[in-house]
Every structure is written in structure tokens, then in C-alpha cells.
Amino acid sequence: MSRKALIAGNWKMHTTVVDACKLAKKISEACGNLTDREVLLAPPFTVLSEVSHVLQNTPILLAGQNVCWEESGAFTGEISPHMIQDAGGSAAIIGHSERRHIFHEDDSMINKRMRGALAFGLTAILCIGETLKTREDGKTFDVLREQVVKGLDGVSDVDVPRLVVAYEPVWAIGTGKTASKEQAQEAHSFIRGLLTELYEKDLADSVRILYGGSVKPDNVDDLMAQADIDGALVGGAALSSESFGRIINFNK
């Protein structure tokens, strides 16, 4: 099964309109004419619309960094799927470890966000990953199972083509520590197996599983060479067009 690689950049709470537009333009230049891979950027909501204008005639996709499950209403501080689409986005990152650990979003809320995003036509990137303590306690696979099963509860076959999973070990996010390619492949292969338990095999095999956690120009090639690593979710290194440009242009 061949899956088109997806390189996603999460800008987190960085950039104002001017910086964001400059960065998006430089990243689009770094993409060149690549057709065998997709590139997605998740800027802050406040710059989504302006960045979408900069990227208008490029294949780069745009995502929100989170999304609400409702279309509109009394949900102070939230952004709806329709608002993301209106600003030029087609995807949302859901369940990022910073949402889980700093803002205490649990699997049940993350599942609501997943279902909402998919129901309104967005691509939904479900982030999962274990803490260092979980890994040291030998419970990594139990936690991944729980996050996948609960996060995808009620997500039906028709929505799976717009599902992406990002495996991001919490201990590797923003720390400069990367999972070794063997650790990452082991986790990705386990997640692939879980998807096969939930969905028909061809469908499960078509889901892209991204690795995230200190992906940098000097480790991307090794990670992308693993059988079940279909792309990367990049934080820090996505804020520089030089490093993100190199990551996008990973060598196969």
C-alpha cells in the first residue's frame, strides 16, 4: 500500500500576521514542484486567513491547531470547523499533547472534536503519544490503544479517508530528544495494527501515521525510511523555512 507522505508544520502560539505571511511564502518556495508528498501548515487561528491568501496558488494545505465539534454557538474561545474552512483551512490538529497536558483535554473531548471535524468535512489529525513515565512503566502500548480506541470511537469507514494519526511521544516534543527510528517504527506498526482491528484492512492501511517529536533536518531521512512512518508533524523546526524546507525535501 503506498501512502503519500505528509509533512505538517505546527506553528503553535508563534507568529503575527507579517511574520506568518513571510514564513509561509518562504516555505512555499522551499516546496518547489514536489508532487509525491503533501505539505500542511497549522498557523495560529489569527493568521489563518492571511496565510491562506499567500498560499493561494500553491498545493500547501492549511489546518487549525484545534477545532470545536459544533458549527456555531455559545462556545467562548472555540473555533468551529466551518470557521476553519472559511479562513481557507481544510484540516485540524486534534488532541495535541499540549492540549491534553496543559489544557486537560481528555479522550472523550478529543473524540468529540474528531467526530465534529470529520462530520463537517475536515481532515482530522489525531495526536497520540505516551509520557516518559508511561514508557518507563512499560505501559506505552496500553496508552496508545486507549487513545486510539477512545479517540476514534464512532468514527466510521466513510470518514477514514480523511483521518491522519500523529504519534508524538510526549517526552520527545520540544525537548530535542527524538524517538529512535526503531522505537518510532515499533509504535507506528502497533498503531497500524490497532487501525486494522477497527477498520477493514485496505482502509486501515491507507491511513497516514505521522511521527512527531523533535523532527529535524538531520533525523528526518532515517525516520521517513521506516515502513510505517508516512510523514512528520513538526513543531520547532517548522518555524524556519530553512529547516522545514529541508524536512519537506526529505530523501527517500
Q: How far is the CB of 234 from ligand PEP (least distance, A)?
A: 5
Q: Is 14 a catalytic residue?
A: no
Q: Is 96 a catalytic residue?
A: yes
| Residue 147 interacting with ligand PEP (CB under 6 A) | no
The residue sitting closest to ligand PEP, measured at its beta carbon, is 235
- Checking phi first, is residue 62 left (phi over 0); if not, alpha (psi -120 to 50) or beta? beta
Q: Tell which one of 122, 210, 215, 248 touches ligand PEP (CB under 6 A).
A: 215
User: Cell numbers at residue 23, please?
Assistant: 514564513
| Residue 173 interacting with ligand PEP (CB under 6 A) | yes
Q: How many residues does the chain have?
A: 252
Out of 96, 98, 130, 188, pick the active-site residue.
96
Q: Determine the 3-state secondary structure of 61 from DSSP.
A: strand
Q: Tell which one of 213, 241, 246, 250 touches ligand PEP (CB under 6 A).
A: 213
Q: Tell which one of 236, 243, 246, 248 touches ligand PEP (CB under 6 A).
A: 236
| Residue 66 interacting with ligand PEP (CB under 6 A) | no
Count interface residues toward ligand PEP (CB under 6 A): 13
Q: Determine the 3-state secondary structure of 207 from DSSP.
A: coil
Q: How far is the CB of 95 from ligand PEP (least distance, A)?
A: 11
Q: How far is the CB of 98 from ligand PEP (least distance, A)?
A: 7
Backbone angles phi, psi at 82, to 5 degrees: -65, -35
Active site residue ranges: 96, 168
